[in-house]
Amino acid sequence: MTHTLRRAVLPLALLALAALAARPARAEEIFPLDQIKPGMKGTARTIFAGKEIESFDLEVIGVLRNLIGPKQDVILVRLLGEKTAYTGVVAGMSGSPVYIEGKLVGALAYRFGAFTREPIAGVTPIESMLRAAQEEPPPQSTAALGRYPLPEETSTALGLGHFSDRYLVPIETPLSFVGIHPRVVSRFSEELGRLGLLALQGGGTAVPENTSELLPGGAVAAALVTGDMGIASTCTITHRIGNQLFACGHPLFSYGDVRLPMARAEIVTTVASELSSFKIANLGELVGTFRQDRNSAIVGEVGPIPAMIPVDLTVAHRGRERQYHYQIFQHPKLSATLLNLTLFNGLFTLIESGEGLTYRVSGQMSLRGHDSIALDDMFSPTESAFPDAFRVASSVSQTFQRIFSNPFETPEIERITLRVELLPERRAVSIENAWVDKNDVRPGETIRVKVILRPYRGPRLVREIPIEIPPQAAKGNLRVLVSDALFLNRITRTMQLNFGLRLGRQLAPRVSSLEQLIALINRERRNDRLYVSLFQRTPTLLVEDKVLPSIPLSQMNVLNPRQTPGRTIVSYQSILNESSQPLGQVITGSRWLQVTVR
């Protein structure tokens, strides 16, 4: 063979060897469920620390038919050996493959309630797991309950005396947090616990060579947040067919079809606890997508990584800035919580104990094919023991939730960019008094409203706001409201609610498209603006996102709300005009005044 030919053949040979090494092992032989008998001995595989897959023994106690639901059986087993006698059933062990006679039986997936005397677990049969890619999502009531009582004869045979111990629950999936403050984790632990996730402080970013292989018994993570902050839930791989992975043996969130990032993981250690032992995991590189979150398994595919929502957060405080760049998992039921948690964390890490801070928020939410949503507002400290930073994060996440879960179309959120300035004083003023420069007015005339403001620990301020009496204003009394945004919003909502009560129905949203919803959000009032509004007792129609004050009777008949219920709302008071002035401080309070149109 010539030197030139040898140089050409060698790369091809190396590629062939690499492809052979990367090729997953052939599908494992399955032990049929109908052949499972009490007393059979088997083994299970999982990682207790590092990346080495260990085996431990177990014994079959029996099969519980239809325990989880129709055609959802559970194999009851007793774990054997010194290690499992010490740790019990471990959070993060769910998905550990179980074998009898070298054939795959299923995955460890369930445990008894806390403080059990011996390690007894429930196994999801592999036949159920293989159906996970086709089956319908479980009923929400079953998923929310997550407690499956044992038959009386089984409980008696196992010596379970107290009724509270006589049920199986899914083995918790440890949720590791990277770069998240412990008090933030504590704040959200109950909310995440309702999803079956065990919130754990700890974990980090794994070195690639320390992550386990994507093979049965190895660890795999569902990545909810990646980047400068990380949140991931870890369980064990049960089965692999080509690039398809089956894991957990129970649902993660019961979301059905998902596009959840799949990542490698490193098991740092297993912590034994009488209440609930758990694994501590580090998050590794993204390697694919979990596409199914079903009653009997989560199913993923090694390959392309799903799109996530990029977040750029800048927090400025005392002349310095911190920037965070991260991505969050896209799902209508969870993304807002993840955004709330990460924003709160970014703010919480810079809060100085006992310091009263004002938060000035600016930024936008960019959507493909639509206008951006402005995220501009201001928040001053309160006397509540509840963290003020949480109000700021919640305000942004609530706006996000309104857009992301809208009923009109699936939004494609390209990026969330947010800047939060932490100002080291309470920038707040209250409305102390107000008056108008004249009480008798004419249509089309401009009046001036003077307002006395009382700052927090400072001298009084006087502001003047001009407002025009509309040309169409009818003769009679007009009410002038000087107020903050919160009070004005409450007044306008009450006007609509009162009409809804008169009709005996609940008023539906006024918008009929995502574009209208975006426009409505961008018009919402801000905490740092002083508002002056004119009210008159004449009908106002709200047609979708349009406000039609003092509408003539002829137009009222054309747009009769009884003919188009939900899309058209009438109020028996009209806001004739509204003016505002930015103050650079958070405004609170209100004053009613009156003028007469001659």
For residue 134 the two structure tokens come to 């086709």
Give the model confidence (pLDDT) of 396-424 as tens digits.
999 999 999 999 999 999 999 999 999 98
Predicted confidence (pLDDT) per residue in 221-255, tens digit: 999 999 999 999 999 999 999 999 999 999 998 89
Say whether pLDDT at 331 is over 80.
Answer: yes
Please, which pLDDT band fits residue 150 given cuts at 50, 70 and 90? low
Instruction: Report residue 182's pLDDT band, with 50, 70 and 90 as the boundaries.
Output: confident
Average pLDDT over residues 469-473: 90
Within 8 A by CB and 6+ apart from 335, the residues are 309, 328, 329, 400, 401, 404
What CA–CA distance (Å, rounded) separates 296 from 38? 22
Q: Is the pLDDT of residue 195 over 80?
A: no
Q: Does residue 336 carry a pLDDT above 80?
A: yes
Tell me which of 227-231, 270-274, 449-453, 506-510 is least confident. 506-510
**pLDDT band at residue 23 under the 50/70/90 scheme:** very low
Other C-beta atoms lying within 10 Å of the C-beta of residue 23: 9
CB of 172 closer than 8 Å to CB of 111: no
- Angle at the Cα of 234 from the Cα atoms of 62 and 67, rounded to 5 degrees: 25
pLDDT reading at 19 higher than 60: no
Mean pLDDT to the nearest integer, 17-21? 37
Averaged pLDDT for residues 320-325: 94
pLDDT value at 169 more than 50: yes
Query: What's the confidence (pLDDT) of residue 313?
Result: 97
Q: Can you tell me the mean pLDDT for 551-572?
A: 49
Q: What is the mean pLDDT of residues 299-327?
A: 95
d(CA 142, CA 254): 10
Closest by CA position to 451, among listed 433, 428, 439:
433
As a whole number of Å, the CA-based R_g of the chain is 31
375 vs 551: CA distance, rounded Å: 33
Q: Does position 18 have pLDDT exceeding 70, yes or no?
A: no
Tell which wins on pLDDT, 154 or 121.
121
| Cα 210 from chain centre | 30
Tokens in use for 268?
Answer: 């740092």
Whether residue 454 is predicted with pLDDT greater than 80 in this model: the reply is yes
pLDDT value of position 189: 85
User: 540 falls in which pLDDT band (50, 70, 90)?
Assistant: low
Range of lowest pLDDT (83-87, 223-227, 358-362, 417-421): 83-87
User: 227 — alpha (psi -120 to 50), left (phi > 0) or beta?
Assistant: left
Which of 241-245, 272-276, 292-296 has the least mean pLDDT? 272-276
SS (H, E, C) 444-508: CCEEEEEEEEEECCCCCEEEEEEEECCCCCCCEEEEEEEECHHHHHHHHHHHHHHHHHHHCCCCC
- What's the pLDDT score for residue 20? 36
Percent of the chain residues topping a pLDDT of 90:
58
**CB atoms inside a 10 Å sphere around CB 96:** 34
Q: Are strands 440-441 and 590-597 parallel, antiparallel or unpaired?
A: parallel
Q: What is the pLDDT of residues 202-218, one digit of tens each?
A: 667 888 888 989 999 99
pLDDT in tens, 113-128: 665 668 899 999 999 9
Cβ pair 414, 368 in contact under 8 A: yes
Tell me the pLDDT band of 153, cut-offs 50, 70 and 90. low
Interval 586-598 mean pLDDT: 95
C-beta atoms surrounding 108 within 10 Å: 31
Query: What is the bridge-based pairing of β-strands 309-317 and 413-423?
Result: parallel
Record the tokens describing residue 378, joined without a space.
């201001």
- Tell me the pLDDT of the chain averaged across its residues: 83
Distance CA 143, CA 572 (A): 46
Residue 29 has pLDDT above 80, yes or no: yes
Q: Which of 156, 155, 174 minimizes the C-alpha distance to 166?
A: 155
Q: Taking residues 502-522, report their average pLDDT.
A: 71
Between 30-39, 270-279, 379-388, 587-596, the lowest mean confidence (pLDDT) is in: 379-388
Look at residue 554 and tell me whether its pLDDT is greater than 60: no
- Gap between the Cα atoms of 26 and 23, Å rounded: 9
Percent of the chain at pLDDT exceeding 70 = 79
Average pLDDT over residues 542-555: 52
CA 308 to chain centre: 13
Structure tokens at 382: 């309160």
State yes or no: pLDDT of 531 exceeds 50. Answer: yes
In order, the DSSP letters of 273-286 are -SS-EEEEEEEEEE
Q: For residue 122, which of 77, 69, 167 has the smallest C-alpha distance?
A: 77
The H or E element containing residue 100 is: strand 97-100
